């Protein structure tokens, strides 16, 4: 922390002090140096807020930017802070996308839905596609099997409904999870047949 003669205090990286020559007590600083330190202090404050937000959960750059702009309206300051976090490896859309993709696939969401969610979070299209592909490869995700397991679980909850109602609600549920009509059709016949065999007609 640097304190000026007029009482103003700046919290800045040591590099900023070196840039302005303010590494020794009593050094006279010109207006440009003071302005530089003030800006560096503002960026440092944004970085601190960002790190605190990241400590509470993973976020993409866009999500973090939206949160930070509530406190700091200067886009350039926020952008500089995010650039520094990205350069240091603290902020990574690629890492967030991969973790989010893996978690959502394990919960039974279809790849297409996961890609949509990642895009809404601000992940670039190619990055979102790569993250989903890597998560599928790593976990051995089988879309038809995932759809079947969800359909079976949901089907049990719909067992007391008439077949047409159960079918309609089951299709809607699977569509909301992002499964295509082709995949849904593959698993629906088996699941509904099982429901019928269990006496839910």
Token pair for 145: 């099997």
Bigger pLDDT: 70 or 4?
70
Question: Helix/strand/coil (H, E, C) string of 116-157?
Answer: HHHHHCCCCHHHHHHHHHHHHHHHCCCHHHHHHHHHHHHHHH
CA 139 distance to own-chain centroid? 20
CA dihedral over 110, 111, 116, 120, signed as positive or negative: positive
**What is the percentage of the chain residues whose pLDDT exceeds 70?**
78
Global confidence as pTM: 0.72
Rounded Cα distance, 120 and 2, in Å: 41
| Span 37-96, pLDDT tens digits | 778 888 889 999 999 999 999 999 999 999 999 999 999 999 999 999 999 999 999 999
Contacts of 144 (CB under 8 A, 6+ apart): 183, 186, 187
83's CB contacts (< 8 A; 6+ apart) are: none
Q: CA 56, CA 16: separation in Å to the nearest integer?
A: 29
Average confidence score pLDDT of the chain: 83
For residue range 119-154, what is the model confidence (pLDDT) as tens digits?
Answer: 999 999 999 999 999 999 998 888 999 999 888 888
């Amino acid at each position: 922390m640097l304190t000026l003669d007029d009482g103003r205090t700046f919290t800045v990286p040591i590099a900023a002090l070196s840039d302005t020559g303010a590494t020794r007590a009593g050094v006279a600083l010109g207006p440009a140096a003071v302005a530089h330190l003030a800006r560096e202090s503002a960026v440092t404050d944004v970085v601190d807020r960002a790190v605190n937000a990241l400590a509470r959960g993973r976020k993409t750059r866009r999500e973090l930017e939206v949160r930070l702009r509530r406190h700091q309206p200067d886009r350039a300051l926020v952008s500089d802070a995010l650039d520094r976090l990205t350069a240091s490896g603290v902020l990574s859309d690629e890492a967030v996308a991969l973790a989010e993709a893996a978690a959502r696939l394990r919960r039974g969401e279809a790849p297409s839905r996961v890609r949509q969610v990642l895009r809404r979070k601000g992940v670039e299209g190619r990055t979102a596609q790569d993250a989903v592909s890597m998560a599928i490869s790593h976990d051995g995700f089988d879309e038809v099997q995932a759809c079947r397991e969800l359909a079976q679980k949901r089907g049990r909850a719909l067992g007391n409904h008439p077949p047409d109602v159960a079918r309609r609600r089951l299709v809607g549920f699977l569509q909301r999870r992002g499964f295509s009509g082709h995949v849904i059709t593959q698993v629906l016949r088996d699941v509904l047949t099982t429901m019928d065999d269990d006496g839910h007609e």
